[in-house]
Each structure stands twice: as structure tokens, then as C-alpha cells.
Structure 1
Amino acid sequence: MFTKQQFERLASAHMDGVFRLAYSYLKSAAEADDVTQNALLKLYLTDKRFESEAHVKNWLYRVAANECKRALLSPWRRAEDIADYAEALAFTTPERSELFYAVMELPAKYRTVIHLHYYEDYATQEIAEILGVPGATVRTRLRRGRELLKKKLMEAEGYAGQENV
């Protein structure tokens, strides 16, 4: 178990990242809050010994991913409008806002790996460990997710059907 100070430091360091991961799965700020709280509670209560800060982060993200999968199966689950959540985020440019909406429209298996890789700076092997899938699967999902994202963004810009862009 952690001391109060250790836990507070870890929670403040990783809370936002866990929330973003949960939101990328669930598309609901309320459910993402619940998952974040559950993951942090499990961290507080664990007797597990961690080798490093990175090990804590990976463990916490794995717990959050499992909590999200559990929440997705819940009969009480309800979706929240992405626009409600997006308004709470501060985008530095309109392009970042557009990119966020495009990423959130991707199927969950692509959305999650793109979020972990580009927003949380995880390597593909680390993502594989968090999600419990082979590294090749993560790389395939990243490639396919990028292709879908490119297609969505090109359609939004009016480049649909142009091969040489």
C-alpha cells in the first residue's frame, strides 16, 4: 500500500491520462469519471509492489482499460454527446478540434490505440501489454485507424475521390 502522500502524487500525475483513456473507450464523461475513480481506488488498495513509476502507469492504464470493457457490457450504459465533452476541452487550434472529433468517430479498437499512441506517447508494445493483445495487432490497428482518420479528414475537407493527395 502507498502512503497518503505517495498516492496523492501518483493520482494527480495519472488521473488526467486515465480519464482520457476511459473517455476514448466510453465517449461519456460521467462514465469516464467512474472508471477513473475505480482505477485509482484499486491503485490505493493494492498490495502490489511496483518497480518504477512507468510500471505504476502501465498497471493503472491496464486496470482502466479492463474497467472500460466492463462498463461497455453494462446494461445501464448510456452514450453522451461528444460535443458536450469537447466543449470542456481547450483546443489550441480549430484543426486540433476537428482532429479530436474525427478520432472520436473511429471504431473503439482504432480510437483506443490511436489515443494511447499519439496522446499518451505509448509505444506499440506497451499498448499491446495494456490491452492484452499482440504487438502486431496494435500496429495493424494503428495503420488501419490512421487510414480511416485520413479518409474522414479528407472527406471533411472536400478531397473525397482524389487519389493523389
Structure 2
Amino acid sequence: MDSDLQLFADWAQGDQRAGERLFERHYEGVARFFRNKAGDHWPELCQRTFLTCVEVRDKFRAEGSFRSFLFGIAYRQLYRFFRERARDPESVDFQLRSVQDFDPSLSSVVAANQEERLLLAALRRIPLEYQVILELHYWEDMTAKACAEVLDVPLGTAKTRLRRGRQLLEAELAKDAPSEEVLTRTLSDLEGWARRLREQLDH
């Protein structure tokens, strides 16, 4: 199977089929990225992301992965989406504002069980900057280094955001958990619950 870099190189040389294969390979991941944050707007944001990728493909220098490059575009499209919805776009602080703050209905994901519902609700209530990095890490299996590439921040900053994001998530989970047992079960298997949510997002 051709690597992303090979497909990208072929696409840059005019091979449209290589570009189609590249987008097919990454479409589900980009859709997951938007579905828990932008609700029914996710198809539009996917389209924006891939169109922008076509427009700026000459800026990709293969210093990181194509996947990080693509998710970086998705990340900027997401922030643009929320700024467009804000009364004062310039004053929006994504380290303070959450999806819940913008619109509580912005999700097209329905969780199957109690732990997953708790996790989804908690993710939507933490500031978007931390929700993004946690979902990249747990849903897309990205390392701190890959997250740093997507967010265009130093590796140390990405690691700090991951730690802080987990702390904020745990605090939000504690608010809604109906019992200590459910809270402990959810916190002890965050990766497992995240993986099962990812499977639901794919369907």
C-alpha cells in the first residue's frame, strides 16, 4: 500500500486518483474530529477541510506527516466555524470557551451506555482547546508530538495541555457521575471508553 507521502507526491504531480485515495484514507478521521464538536455541520466542515487542503497543498513540505497537516487544517476550520458564530470573533478564547458554551446541541453523537454518555458530556464542557487535544490523543491515537504538529505548538505545550485536559475532564466527570463506582470505572478505562466511542462515531 502506498504511503501518504507517496500518494501526496503523486497527487502534487497531477495524479488525481492519488489525491482521491489520500482523502478516502483520512475522511473518517476528519469526520470524527468534527462530529462531537460541530453537530450537523460536520459534513460542511469536512468539505471545507479537504478543499483547503487542495488549495494549500504546495505548503506541505513533508517535515511532518500528511495526517498531521490535514488535521491541522481541520483544527483551524473548526476555530473559524466557532468564530463565525460568535458575536465578537476576536474576543473568543478557546482555552476558556467550550462547545457547551457555544451551543449545547452541537453534537451528532449518541452514546450507548452510561460511561460513554458521561464522557461525551464532560468533553463538551471543558474548554475547546483541551477537548481537541484529548480527542486527537484518545480517538486518533496521536502522540503528544503528533498533537503538537496539528496544533502548531511546541511539544512541551502539547504535553502540558494533555495533562491539564485530563485534569479538567476528570473534574467534569466527577460532577455528573451518579456514584463513586461509576466515576472510578470511567476514569480507570478512559482509553477503552474512548475507543468504543470512536467505533460509534465511525458508524
TM over 0.5: yes
Pairwise CA distance, 1:47: 4.1
Alignment of 1:8-157 (within 5 A): 8-23=20-35, 27-45=37-55, 46-47=57-58, 51=62, 55-75=65-85, 79=103, 81-82=105-106, 85-87=108-110, 91=111, 93-157=113-177
The two structures, once aligned, show a CA RMSD in angstroms of 2.9
> What amino acid is the match of 1:22?
F
Unaligned 5+ runs, structure 1: 160-164
Unaligned 5+ runs, structure 2: 1-11, 88-101, 181-186, 188-203
Q: For 1:70-120, what per-residue CA distance to the aligned partner results, in whole angstroms no more than 9, with x for missing partners?
A: 2222157973604x5123xxx454322321221122111110110011111
Any conservation in 2 of the 1:35–1:68 contact (CA below 8 Å)? yes
Stretches of 4+ moved more than 6 A in 1?
none
TM-score by length of 1: 0.75
The percentage of aligned residue pairs carrying the same residue is 27
Any conservation in 1 of the 2:124–2:131 contact (CA below 8 Å)? yes
Any conservation in 1 of the 2:118–2:176 contact (CA below 8 Å)? no
- C-alpha separation in 2, matches of 1:81 and 1:70: 18
- C-alpha separation in 2, matches of 1:9 and 1:127: 24
Pairwise CA distance, 1:7: 2.3
TM-score by length of 2: 0.63
